[in-house]
């Protein structure tokens, strides 16, 4: 791309105006994310309606892959190009995907395509929010606004699963129209977003983005059908990417970036904690239907307390971080997740109260974990590299979650008539209990020390 820009090169903006824009961006992020979570909850229902249940998980996993890639691209571009221009591109993609999805919902592949466009467009608000937080806020304010962002995500998930559950009983195609409500914030944002761009001719590193995008997409698709040729293709493109950034004149990211051990450790934590992220709501949806005969709307309302508690925890996570420190906060979050998954595995057949309690424990962990990880991430680089490091971590977060849903989805639709587990459970109970036990292993607190 271009050479690194000095920290002082960014235009100065009134702090009050920055915070106003952050709140607007957070609301737009909520609208896009709740749409994502709604589709995550009901993808199997949609696949059944369209006569393609075997491809249903792709409604979540492929847009999830796209989300990871565009997070990376948007975050990286945030260091070099106008945030206003980024927002404009995102808005176009969002509206094309939303309107197209509503009218082309008769075919699963068109649904997946429109979900990809919609997701790519909606994420620009989240990426711009993170870049502005890292670039323009004081250190003591960053953790608070990272916590608000996490709370927005939890709130979006809450509204999304309720909307998904309710609209499946009416018409799920209306889910596509939810992000269109963001139109009310667009005029103010386009007028006031930073127009900074570095002096001189900036060339976007298109080959670099294309190579890494293909590598990540192939890796994620491998976990959908475990095709070794796809895995081999992914490895080849990762090797090509490594060679490319070591020889290119101005790559968007250099090999030295990957020698930052603090960033690598923070990224490892993202992988550990978010592997099960996209899988939780569809897993509760599937187990609630199979074990108790609940529909998606009923399951979604059972998860409401979990997301309310998680959002509250996320809002105050900045203050908690300031008192006990990042490391202790990460350990406590991990303990909540592991305990929640373990209790779910033991009490999966105990009814709605058990679902409410165990899901709440798991999501308290998610409410705590975001701020310390992302505060750690942004602290490993200077402000002029914040976009790239945030983009890389969002890439890891979303692709990890997409891989997770590809791994867990077969467990939700597999024939549960046979088999048991070490808890003495059999059939459907054992099937869904085993999926929660795998989730607890992916968030083991001992991994925090590795």
Q: For tokens 């190579």, what's the residue?
A: 211
**Which CATH superfamily is 7-204+252-449 part of?**
MFS general substrate transporter like domains (1.20.1250.20)
Give the mean pLDDT of the chain: 77
**pLDDT at res. 418:** 42
Question: How confident is the model at residue 110, as a pLDDT?
Answer: 94
pLDDT at 390 over 60: yes
Rounded to whole angstroms, how far apart are CA atoms 125 and 149?
11
From first CA to last CA, the distance across the chain in angstroms is 34
Report pLDDT digits (tens) over 21-78. Answer: 888 888 888 888 888 878 877 888 888 889 888 888 788 878 877 877 787 788 777 7
pLDDT value of residue 411:
60
Q: Which two tokens stand for residue 205?
A: 């590193």
User: Residue 393 has what pLDDT?
Assistant: 77
Q: How far apart are CA 450 and CA 448, in angstroms?
A: 6
Q: Is the pLDDT of residue 4 over 50?
A: no
> Could you write out the three-class secondary structure of 381-409?
CCHHHHHHHHHHHHHHHHHHHHHHHHHHH
The answer to whether 83 and 194 are in contact (CB under 8 A) is yes
Please tell me the predicted confidence (pLDDT) of residue 100. 93
Q: How far apart are CA 320 and CA 258, in angstroms?
A: 30
Q: How far apart are CA 216 and CA 158, in angstroms?
A: 29
With CA atoms as reference, report the closest residue to 385 among 279, 201, 282, 254: 254
Query: Is pLDDT at 389 greater than 50 in this prediction?
Result: yes
Q: Residue 436 — very low, low, confident or very high, per pLDDT cuts 50/70/90?
A: very low
Sequence-ordered list of residues with C-beta below 8 angstroms from that of 144, at least 6 positions apart, any chain: 318, 319
Mean pLDDT of 163-183: 82
- The predicted structure's pLDDT at residue 107: 92
Query: In 253-341, where do the E strands start and end?
Result: none
Each domain of the chain, given as residue ranges in start order, spans 7-204+252-449
Q: Are 340 and 180 in contact (CB under 8 A)?
A: no
State residue 406's pLDDT score: 67
State the Cα–Cα distance between residues 242 and 258, nearest whole angstrom: 11
- Helix 386-413 crosses helix 280-292 at what angle (to 10 degrees)? 20
pLDDT given at position 10: 53
Can you give the pLDDT at residue 244? Answer: 93
Top-confidence residue, 440 or 52: 52
Q: What is the pLDDT of residue 235?
A: 94
- Tell me the percentage of the chain whose pLDDT exceeds 70: 82
pLDDT band at 112 (very low <50, low <70, confident <90, very high): very high
Q: Which residues pair with 420 in a beta bridge?
A: 426
Alpha-helix residue ranges (DSSP H) falling in 6-138: 15-49, 58-77, 83-103, 108-136
Tens of pLDDT, residues 274-299: 777 666 777 777 777 777 777 777 77
Q: How far is the C-alpha of 141 from the C-alpha of 53, rounded, in Å?
A: 46
Q: How confident is the model at residue 413 (pLDDT cuts 50, 70, 90)?
A: low
Most confident of 195-204, 366-375, 399-408: 366-375
Tell me what pLDDT residue 240 has. 96
Question: How many CB atoms sit inside 10 A of residue 7's CB?
Answer: 12
The residues, any chain, with a CB within 8 Å of residue 176's CB and separated by 6 or more, are: 35, 97, 98, 99, 101, 102, 105, 114, 118
Alpha helices in 249-303, H assignment, sequence order: 261-274, 280-292, 296-302
- Whole-angstrom Cα distance, residue 430 to residue 10? 56
DSSP 8: G
C-alpha span between 369 and 365 (Å, rounded): 6
Residue 321 confidence (pLDDT) above 70? yes
Mean pLDDT in residue range 5-34:
72
Q: Which residues contact 8 (CB under 8 A, 6 or more apart)?
A: none
90 or 268, greater pLDDT: 90
**Which stretch of 151-165, 177-191, 241-255 has the lowest confidence by average pLDDT?**
151-165
Average pLDDT over residues 426-430: 46
**b/e 411-433 (16+ beta carbons within 10 angstroms → b):** bbeeebeeeeeeeebeebbbbbb
Average pLDDT estimate for 290-310: 80
Mean per-residue pLDDT, 263-281: 75
Residue 435's pLDDT is 44
pLDDT the model gives residue 98: 93
For residue 51, CA distances in Å to 43, 45, 106, 269 come to 12, 10, 10, 38
Q: How confident is the model over 323-359, as pLDDT tens digits?
A: 888 888 888 988 998 898 888 878 777 777 888 888 8
Section 389-394 average pLDDT: 76
83-111 pLDDT, tens digit each: 888 888 888 999 999 999 999 989 999 99
What distance in Å separates the CA atoms of residue 279 and residue 337, rounded to the nearest whole number? 14
Mean pLDDT, residues 164-172 taken together:
76
Are the CB atoms for 180 and 98 separated by under 8 Å?
Answer: yes
pLDDT over 90 percentage in the chain? 9
Per-residue pLDDT at 93: 92
As a whole number of angstroms, the distance between CA 412 and CA 52 comes to 15
């Amino acid at each position: 791309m271009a050479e690194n820009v000095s920290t002082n090169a960014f235009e100065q903006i009134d702090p009050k105006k920055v915070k106003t824009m952050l709140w607007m961006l957070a609301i737009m992020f909520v609208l896009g994310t709740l749409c994502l979570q709604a589709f995550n909850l009901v993808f199997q229902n949609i696949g059944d309606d369209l006569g393609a249940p075997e491809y249903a998980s792709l409604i979540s996993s492929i847009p999830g892959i796209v989300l990871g890639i565009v997070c990376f691209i948007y975050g990286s571009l945030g260091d070099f190009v106008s945030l206003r221009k980024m927002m404009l591109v995102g808005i176009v993609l969002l509206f094309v995907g939303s309107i197209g999805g509503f009218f082309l919902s008769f075919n699963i592949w068109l649904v997946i395509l429109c979900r990809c466009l919609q997701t790519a467009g909606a994420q620009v608000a989240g990426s711009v929010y993170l870049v502005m937080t890292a670039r323009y806020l004081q250190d003591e304010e960053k953790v608070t606004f990272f916590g608000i962002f996490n709370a927005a995500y939890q709130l979006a998930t809450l509204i999304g699963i309720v909307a998904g559950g309710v609209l499946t009983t009416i018409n799920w195609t209306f889910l596509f129209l939810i992000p269109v409500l963001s139109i009310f914030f667009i005029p103010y944002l386009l007028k006031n977003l930073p127009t900074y761009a570095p002096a001189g001719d900036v060339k976007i590193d298109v080959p670099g983005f294309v190579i890494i995008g293909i590598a990540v997409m192939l890796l994620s698709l491998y976990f959908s059908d475990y095709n070794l040729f796809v895995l081999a293709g992914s490895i080849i493109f990762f090797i090509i990417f490594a060679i490319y950034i070591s020889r290119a004149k101005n790559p968007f990211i250099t090999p030295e970036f990957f020698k930052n051990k603090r960033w690598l450790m923070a990224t490892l934590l993202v992988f550990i904690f978010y592997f099960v992220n996209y899988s939780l709501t569809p897993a509760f949806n599937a187990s609630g239907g199979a074990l108790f005969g609940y529909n998606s709307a009923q399951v979604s309302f059972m998860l409401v307390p979990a997301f309310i508690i998680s959002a509250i925890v996320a809002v105050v996570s900045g203050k908690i971080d300031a008192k006990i420190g990042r490391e202790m906060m990460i350990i406590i979050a991990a303990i909540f997740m592991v305990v929640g998954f373990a209790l779910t595995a033991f009490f999966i057949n105990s009814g709605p109260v058990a679902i409410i309690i165990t899901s709440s424990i798991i999501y308290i962990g998610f409410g705590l974990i975001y701020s310390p990880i992302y505060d750690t991430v942004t602290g490993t680089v200077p402000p002029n590299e914040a976009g790239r490091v945030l983009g890389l971590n969002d890439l890891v977060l979303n692709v990890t979650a997409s891989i997770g849903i590809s791994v867990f989805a077969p467990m939700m639709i597999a024939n549960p008539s046979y088999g048991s587990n070490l808890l003495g459970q059999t059939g459907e109970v054992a099937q869904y209990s085993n999926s929660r036990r795998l989730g607890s292993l992916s968030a083991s607190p001992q991994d925090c020390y590795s």
